């Protein structure tokens, strides 16, 4: 599919030998991806890739850690643990999966995707943060053994409570939307008047298939009874989990809220995550997110208490119903590395369409997998993984190959357009067009599709 990683000067952190190693890592990974497109070389490329990451990349990790320590980098311990987790947890799991499946196409794509995603994300956030150029998205991580215990405990609890065979599908869930979701937030008071925030995310069909069935509900939509049952089930769930992170010392619930998706996104954007896990239960998705201590912020949601519980739940259900009805509208995923551009198009389209946002090619693929859109508006000139490469990835999978893609481009010259047309997108839009012209183009696209 012609996909490759492209190194750019802006990724340099200013430490010569580290920057050279980063460039080498990108180059090797790009070659692995190209060879990965040849089935006869699957086992060879994966074996070589694992050897590479276990040897050369590990040597680079040690050198990078020595540099961080020498300059007194405050995020040294967290950064070191991220290295260790990739080396000691992620790679062995990928290696086991490859062997168990006989190096199947799915396993190979998983291996290459995880290694690529980890390399991109780590380089552009954690590594740049060493010299103050970027910002780490993680706070002070919980001890490694507590994180592992937490993941296993959640799996066992779900299986014990609901008889669902569950597995982790992401250890770094970034808040991508999956179907209609219920977002339940708990704030716990700890020793020393600190606060920990926990958000449990339930796919609506998961609640209908578990809590709904247990209380004998025949509803095909989440109602107030299911919400209340979920609230108290979730509290008991967390009570059972408390034993697995004693360092947090969660003593009592200080507040609870029901959030909509945008409020949930605000929580993830503003707060540092201790961990954020996404599970597939077979009956629906479930996410468990924990952030660092913080103060309640205005706009997150009304605190639920005994005296206002029913009114708050009714308001939440009404708003959720409106959002779910809105979800019946056509879904448009906007993919652009510019936050201003993403928000501008969202504001332009959200009245008539359900609009999802992704800031990179990898985030777009995750979003498409979890919540299939009816149309992708794709920035052609993104860094690292550009629009052409993202289009290749979308078309490479049978499940997503028929999703229409319209390119967004800031270049309207003949040479630039000649590069886009042969890719046969559903169309292209110039970012310099007037907002009403962009909106009209999207409307016309769906009108033609419907007719």
Residues 241, 150 contacting (CB under 8 angstroms): yes
What are the angstrom distances between the C-alpha of 287 and each of 151, 177, 278, 363?
Answer: 11, 11, 4, 17
- List, in order of start, the domains of the chain with CATH numbers: 9-129 (1.20.120.50), 144-324 (3.40.1550.10), 329-450 (3.40.50.2300)
- Number of helices (H) and strands (E) in the chain: give both, helices first: 17, 11
Residue 426's CB: how many other CB atoms inside 10 A?
14
What are the angstrom distances between the C-alpha of 300 and each of 174, 184, 257, 321, 324?
Answer: 18, 11, 8, 19, 20
Measured distance CA(161)–CA(353) in Å, rounded: 38
- φ/ψ of residue 408, rounded to 5: -105, 130
Which H or E element spans position 377?
strand 375-379
Residues 377, 427 contacting (CB under 8 angstroms): no
Half-sphere exposure of 185 (CA within 13 A, CB side): 24
pLDDT by 10s per residue, the chain, length 451 = 344 556 777 678 888 888 888 888 778 777 777 766 667 777 777 777 777 777 767 788 888 889 899 988 888 887 887 788 777 777 787 788 778 878 877 677 667 766 776 676 677 667 877 877 655 555 555 556 666 667 888 898 888 788 899 988 777 777 777 778 899 999 888 766 777 889 999 999 999 988 888 767 777 888 887 888 888 888 878 877 776 565 556 777 888 889 988 888 888 877 777 778 888 898 988 999 887 443 233 445 555 555 566 666 677 777 777 666 665 689 999 999 888 888 889 999 988 898 988 888 888 888 888 888 999 999 888 877 788 888 888 888 888 889 999 988 887 677 778 888 888 888 888 888 898 999 999 999 999 887 7
E strand residue ranges, 267-338: 273-280, 285-291, 331-335
Rg (CA), the chain: 23
Measured distance CA(186)–CA(38) in Å, rounded: 48
Q: What is the pLDDT of residue 298?
A: 40
Residues 88, 80 contacting (CB under 8 angstroms): no
Measured distance CA(388)–CA(409) in Å, rounded: 12
Pairing verdict, β 250-259 and 167-170: unpaired
């Amino acid at each position: 599919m012609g996909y490759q990683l492209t190194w750019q000067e802006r990724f340099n952190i200013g430490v010569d030998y580290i920057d050279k190693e980063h460039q080498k890592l990108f180059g090797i990974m790009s070659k692995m991806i190209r060879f990965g497109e040849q089935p006869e070389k699957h086992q060879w490329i994966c074996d070589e890739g694992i050897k590479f990451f276990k040897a050369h990349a590990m040597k680079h990790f040690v050198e990078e850690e020595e540099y961080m320590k020498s300059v007194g980098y405050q995020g040294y311990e967290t950064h070191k643990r991220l290295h260790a987790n990739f080396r000691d947890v992620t790679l062995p799991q990928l290696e086991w999966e490859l062997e168990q499946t006989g190096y199947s196409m799915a396993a190979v794509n998983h291996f290459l995707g995880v290694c690529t995603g980890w390399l991109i994300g780590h380089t552009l956030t954690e590594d740049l943060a060493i010299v103050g150029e970027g910002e780490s998205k993680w706070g002070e991580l919980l001890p490694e053994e507590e994180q592992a215990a937490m993941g296993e405990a959640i799996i066992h609890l779900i299986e014990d409570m609901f008889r669902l065979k569950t597995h982790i599908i992401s250890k770094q869930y970034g808040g991508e939307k999956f179907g209609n979701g219920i977002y339940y937030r708990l704030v716990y008071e700890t020793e020393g008047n600190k606060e920990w925030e926990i958000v449990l995310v339930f796919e609506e069909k998961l609640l209908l298939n578990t809590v709904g069935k247990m209380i004998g509900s025949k509803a095909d939509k989440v109602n107030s009874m299911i919400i209340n049952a979920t609230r108290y089930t979730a509290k008991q769930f967390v009570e059972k989990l408390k034993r697995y992170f004693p360092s947090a010392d969660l003593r009592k619930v200080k507040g609870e809220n029901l959030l909509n998706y945008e409020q949930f996104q605000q929580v993830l954007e503003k707060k540092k995550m201790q961990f954020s896990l996404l599970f597939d239960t077979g009956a629906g998705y479930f996410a468990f997110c924990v952030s660092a201590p913080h103060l309640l912020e205005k706009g997150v949601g009304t605190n639920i208490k005994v005296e206002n519980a029913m009114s708050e739940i009714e308001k939440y259900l009404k708003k959720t119903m409106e959002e779910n009805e809105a979800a019946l509208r056509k879904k448009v995923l906007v993919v652009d590395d510019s936050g201003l551009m993403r928000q501008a198009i969202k504001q332009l389209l959200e009245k008539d369409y359900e609009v999802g946002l992704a800031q990179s090619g990898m985030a777009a693929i995750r979003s498409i997998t979890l919540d299939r859109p009816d149309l992708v508006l794709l920035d052609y000139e993104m860094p690292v993984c550009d629009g052409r490469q993202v289009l290749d990835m979308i078309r490479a999978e049978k499940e997503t190959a028929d999703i229409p893609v319209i390119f967004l481009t800031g270049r309207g010259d003949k040479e630039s357009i000649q590069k886009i047309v042969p890719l046969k997108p559903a169309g292209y839009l110039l970012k310099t067009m007037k907002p009403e012209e962009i909106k009209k183009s999207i409307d016309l696209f769906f009108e033609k599709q419907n007719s």
